[in-house]
Amino acid sequence: MALEQSLAQLSLATVSSPENEKALPTKSLIFKPKTAKTATPVPIFVLALHDTTTPANIIAKSAGVKEPRLAKDDLVEEFFKTSTKEVSIANLSKDLEGKIKIVLDDNILKAAEKEELLKLSTQSSAAVLPAKTVVEFLKSTGIEIIEVDFSAEPATTAAPASASASANKKEKKTDAKLEDAKLIGITVDKEKDFSTWYTQVVTKGEMLDYYDVSGCYILRPNSYFVWETIQDWFNVQIKKLGVQNTYFPMFVSQRVLEKEKDHIEGFAPEVAWVTRAGNSELDEHIAIRPTSETVMYPYYAKWIRSHRDLPLKLNQWNSVVRWEFKHPQPFLRTREFLWQEGHTAHLTQEAAAEEVLQILDYYAGVYEELLAVPVVKGKKTENEKFAGGDYTTTVEGFISATGRGIQGGTSHHLGTNFSKMFNISVENPDGSDQPIFAYQNSWGLSTRVIGVMIMTHSDNKGLVLPPRIAQYQAVVIPVGLTSKSTDAERKQVNEGAEKIEQSLRSAGVRVTGDYREIYNPGWKFADWELKGVPLRFEFGPKDLAANQVTVVRRNDGKKFNVKLDELETEIPKLLDEMHDAMYNKAKKEFDEHRVLVEDWKDFVPTLNAKNVILAPWCGDADCEDDIKDSSAKKDDGEDEEVDEKAPSMGAKSLCIPFQQPELKEGQKCVKCDKKAVNYCMFGRSY
């Protein structure tokens, strides 16, 4: 009764009395989780103290939903029959049971225990109620209530950062139980819930953050540094080939974009269009490049007039936009991504073909030399090649945790298809009327490489960064100081740690020191493990006395001492050893999970055991489709959208590896009765 009366007050004017002024202000927020277009959303009603921060990622985790966002007016109206600004618990009732969820701030339960008052406000009104009454009312609705201690949970990306005053209090607890460090770390197992694990690793490792526009992500300094390192390395290689960097506009007119039909067919559904500038509608709609073939080639036609203008070799580092509507995934499938795209034109097919393979070697080099990720080089089938080109070569990686293949980078030979379309030609030196059309290549490598690297190496403690691309290769942490330590001891240890930093720096090692006094060493260890820093240097009074430092390798946890005067010689070597160890481990996994299958009966079981497959194949496109269909788990009858990422999906051809097992005399295709022409690598893939 009291409740109903009080709720009725919500429609009345604001409340003011000495008692009411002590009431704790609250907020009511409606979130909409990410939901398939065809499904009915289940909104989340969040009731929290006004001062409680309620990050979306914690709501997501607590309520077991994906990417909750503040709901729009129409959804609020639909479920709560009022506007976003007016919604309150007064709009909750038994009718909503099973249709929404409630997330309840733990502080409100505490307020109920302490018999405190809550102030419930909407834009136009307010009411004051005992917290206990509110909690009872919520329970009476029958709606599922999820109680959340927001202060105990970390915000996604701010592990140590969020730990300000409250972290300070919890420090002792963290110290006592190191397993509690997981609170700021990874909370799920890579092998058991790969998808959540990956999201946690990329965000908590501060590689990336989720962004306000779906499918777009923020590349934070930790990952952008990887990209810069790749740029520097790759630029050196291609400049040796005479490639020059350039920048073409991001916009392309519809007429030009659509010039090459096969090509545009592949991209058309994903092209983002600019139709308005300021308040003016544009006469002609303008596309944002999904790739730059049609952007660049009209100018190649203009610049290439004689065979002396060939070869023309240009490259650009830019971003492209492919507005995919399904399942964005950090680094792997994003609506805007960074890449390089090389576009070259040659007088002869031979010169072009040679370059295609040279570039592919550089792509393999990025993976193997920088990211410590093994790849298999090969050629794409006709089904999988670049639309509009002659053939596509590729480097293919493997994610052992999921048993899936992943395309790493592609180098295409376009033949004369585009040059004929755009008239990129030179006079024929034999004097005939027929011009010679240029032989063209295009080749691209994107920030997806960073995702492949993370998936390959990282573990349940967080990121594991290969040393050559780590922004910080080493962190120095003072240890062994207690409340009993003297100021002199403290000073000696800190100064010693700083000297270690200097030694490493002068040996060319990228190093940082962690002297934050508010955190204890255990917390710091976990924090830097989460961020994947390859080497941890622990330096305390005992190390000082022994003129050494304790070193811990992130990749395998090995711990040992290094004499201080050997740092400059030993550590650079050690970093190279770690690179090799990481590469070899990943290579072993890939090699062991690339299984030769000749009988179809073994195909799907092998696939289901998290392998990719090397199988004799007839080379027929229909047979390839058949393999894909037959290796997919069957529809269970429900009318659901097929998720390309689900483990049930069929095996695609990944590539025809350059390195081929020898075909036996009369070997048949793994799937059909035709004669095999080569071995093809098949797998479920990203």
Q: What is the footprint of a second copy within residues 163-192 (CB under 8 A)? A: 163-165
Stretch that binds a second copy, among 182-190, 303-311, 460-468, 593-601 (CB under 8 A): 303-311
Which residue pairs, CB below 8 angstroms and at least 24 apart, start in 126-130? 126/10, 126/14, 126/15, 127/6, 127/7, 127/9, 127/10, 127/12, 127/15, 128/6, 128/15, 128/19, 128/20, 128/23, 129/3, 129/6, 129/7
Shortest distance (Å) from residue 308 CB to a second copy: 7
CB of 649 to a second copy, least distance (A): 23
305 forms part of the interface with a second copy (CB under 8 A): yes
Of 125-133, 305-313, 535-543, 553-561, the window that binds a second copy (rule: CB under 8 A) is 305-313
Distance of alpha carbon 503 from alpha carbon 514, whole angstroms: 16
Tokens, residue 398: 């493997």
Q: Does 432 bind a second copy (CB under 8 A)?
A: no
Please say whether the beta carbons of 375 and 367 come within 8 A.
yes
Based on the shown chain and the rule CB under 8 A, indicate whether residue 1 belongs to the binding site for a second copy: no
**How many residues belong to the site for a second copy (CB under 8 A)?**
73
By CB under 8 A, residue 658 contacts a second copy? no
Name the residue nearer to a second copy (CB basis): 164 or 584: 164
- From candidates 516, 563, 633, 674, binder to a second copy by CB under 8 A: 516
Binding piece for a second copy, criterion CB under 8 A, among 15-23, 302-310, 477-485, 548-556: 302-310
CB of 169 to a second copy, least distance (A): 14
438 closest CA partner among 303, 528, 246: 303
Q: Mark the segment that binds a second copy (CB under 8 A) among 128-136, 317-325, 544-552, 580-588.
A: 317-325
Check: CB of residue 205 under 8 Å from CB of residue 226. Answer: no
**Residue 314 CB, nearest approach to a second copy (Å):** 7
- Of the ranges 78-86, 173-181, 269-277, 388-396, which one interacts with a second copy (CB under 8 A)? 269-277
What's the closest the beta carbon of residue 358 comes to a second copy, in angstroms?
20
Q: How far apart are CA 60 and CA 68, in angstroms?
A: 6
Q: Which is nearer to a second copy, 18 or 431 (CB)?
A: 431
Q: Does 250 bind a second copy (CB under 8 A)?
A: yes
- Residue 278 binds a second copy, judged by CB under 8 A: yes
Query: How do 436-437 and 425-426 pair as beta strands?
Result: antiparallel
Nearest Cα residue to 470 out of 638, 225, 303, 212: 225
Residue closer to a second copy (CB basis): 96 or 321: 321
Strand 69-70 relative to strand 24-32, pairing: antiparallel
* Nearer Cβ to a second copy (219/401): 219
**Nearest approach, Cβ of 374 to a second copy (angstroms)?**
27
Restricted to residues 452-491, the positions that interact with a second copy (CB under 8 A) are: 471
Q: Does 248 bind a second copy (CB under 8 A)?
A: yes
- Does residue 249 touch a second copy according to CB under 8 A? yes
Which 3 state secondary structure label does DSSP give 445?
Answer: strand
Return the SS3 of 127. strand
Nearest to 449 by CA among 385, 524, 363: 363
Which of 52, 122, 157, 344 lies at the binding interface for a second copy (CB under 8 A)?
157
> Hey, which residues between 42 and 71 contact a second copy (CB under 8 A)?
55
Residue 217 CB, nearest approach to a second copy (Å): 7
**Residue 24 interacting with a second copy (CB under 8 A):** no
Smallest separation (angstroms) from a second copy to the CB of 445: 16
Least CB distance to a second copy at residue 574 (A): 25
Tokens of 606: 């092998």
2 is a contact residue toward a second copy (CB under 8 A):
no
What are 347's two structure tokens? 């007088």
Pick from 586, 533, 261, 266: which is nearest to 408 by CA? 586
In the bound state with a second copy, the residue whose beta carbon lies nearer, of 144 and 209, is: 209
Amino acid occupying residue 153: E
> From the CB of 200, what's the least distance to a second copy, in Å?
16
Q: Which of 357, 518, 609, 663 binds a second copy (CB under 8 A)?
A: 518
Determine, following the binding rule CB under 8 A, whether residue 285 of this chain makes contact with a second copy.
yes
CB 256, min distance to a second copy, A: 6
Nearest approach, Cβ of 253 to a second copy (angstroms)? 5
According to CB under 8 A, which one of 98, 136, 251, 642 is a site residue for a second copy? 251
- The terminus-to-terminus CA distance of the chain in angstroms comes to 58
Say what angle helices 221-240 and 349-365 make with each other, to 10 degrees: 150
Region 200-239 residues binding a second copy, contact defined as CB under 8 A: 209, 211-213, 216-221, 224-225, 227-228
Could you say whether residue 441 binds a second copy (CB under 8 A)? no
Nearer to a second copy, 325 or 658 (CB): 325
Sole binder of a second copy in the list 133, 151, 187, 319 (CB under 8 A): 319
Run of H or E residues at 476: strand 474-478
Angle CA(251)–CA(255)–CA(256) in degrees, nearest 5?
Answer: 60
Q: Is the CB of 146 or the CB of 250 nearer to a second copy?
A: 250
C-alpha 420/C-alpha 425 separation (Å) is 8
Nearer to a second copy by Cβ, of 29 and 218: the residue is 218
Q: For a second copy, which stretch binds (CB under 8 A), given 187-195, 252-260, 359-367, 369-377?
A: 252-260
Only one residue has tokens 């010169």, namely 351
Task: Say if residues 671 and 628 touch (Cβ distance below 8 Å).
Answer: no
Sequential DSSP letters for 538-606 = EE-HHHHHHTEEEEEETTT--EEEEEGGGHHHHHHHHHHHHHHHHHHHHHHHHHHTEEE--SHHHHHHH
Cβ atoms of 198 and 455 closer than 8 Å: yes
